[in-house]
Amino acid sequence: MKITVINGTEKHGVTYHLKEVFLKNLQSADVVEFYLPKDCPSFCMGCTSCFMKGEQYCKDFAYINEIEKSFLESDLIVLTSPAYVMHATGAMKALLDHFGYRWMPHRPAPEMFGKRAVIITQCLGAGAKSTARDIKHSLSWWGISKIGMFHGALMNDIVWDNLSEKKRKKLTEKINKLSGRFAKINYAKPAHTKLITKIKFMLSRLIQKKVRKSGRAGLDCEYWHKNGWLGKSRLWKH
């Protein structure tokens, strides 16, 4: 089993601690970790090269390609981020922006439809849930249906050792419960694709069929045609 972890910050704070607790129940796995912004230091510039010419023309392709390769080889993808003003860190948002070309209306990776993912977020007060939703939005449009989420409110401090024993115990029990569920999964079997994911695929398919009919087929449309998705082939039929 292989796990890819994207850490939304380089700090070893509460989010890092919770991630480490989560991974303890999956000790037999081969874990590859990336830390942001170190492992993806640049913002997406909106040049549209990934859409129009191919992802290899992105100025940050070397960073993105390494991360995507690890994603595609993994059975479980873990993304972590503390809440910054009630949303994911800027570094996490920058990474997700770079993967816009992998959204379903563009060029989704078939492998993603059978994968599982976990999102770990926390904040001092409100914001952990909205942070998790930020990340889940991208994962779901990549085609991932099985997404576990942990979001915790610290309430009285942002340093793990300064939290009350009761709060640390509560957070630890909650993250252990989540990791326990994911430790029991048979990763040799692809994850079930939910109805909402299939609907997103079919709507994207409708868009690409209209584009092809118009005679303005570009890179995305040719990708769909080549994979047979404009016909009867479906990503979730492994």
Give the relative orientation of helices 195-214 and 128-142 as an angle to the nearest 10 degrees: 50
Tell me the CA end-to-end span of the chain in Å, nearest whole number. Answer: 19
By C-alpha distance, which of 86, 103, 89, 84 is closest to 6?
89
- Residues 236 and 75: their CA atoms lie apart, in Å, by 16
Q: What is the pLDDT of residue 238?
A: 60
CATH of domain 2-194: 3.40.50.360
The predicted structure's pLDDT at residue 17: 94
Q: What is the mean pLDDT of each run of 10 residues along the chain (238 residues)?
A: 97 94 93 98 96 96 98 98 94 98 97 97 89 96 97 83 90 96 96 96 96 90 96 85
Cα 149 to Cα 45, 60, 158, 179, 224: the distances in Å are 29, 29, 20, 10, 31
List the alpha helices (DSSP H) in 53-126.
61-73, 90-98
Q: What is the pTM of this model?
A: 0.95
Measured distance CA(183)–CA(192) in Å, rounded = 17
Q: Is 32 helix (H, G, I), strand (E, B) or coil?
A: strand
- CA dist., res. 46 & res. 167, Å (int): 42
Return the biggest CA–CA distance within the chain: 64
> E strands, 42-138, where?
76-82, 116-123
Is the bond preceding residue 37 a cis peptide, omega within 30 degrees? yes
In 25-127, alpha helices (H) = 49-52, 61-73, 90-98
Inter-residue contact 39 to 62 (CB < 8 Å): no
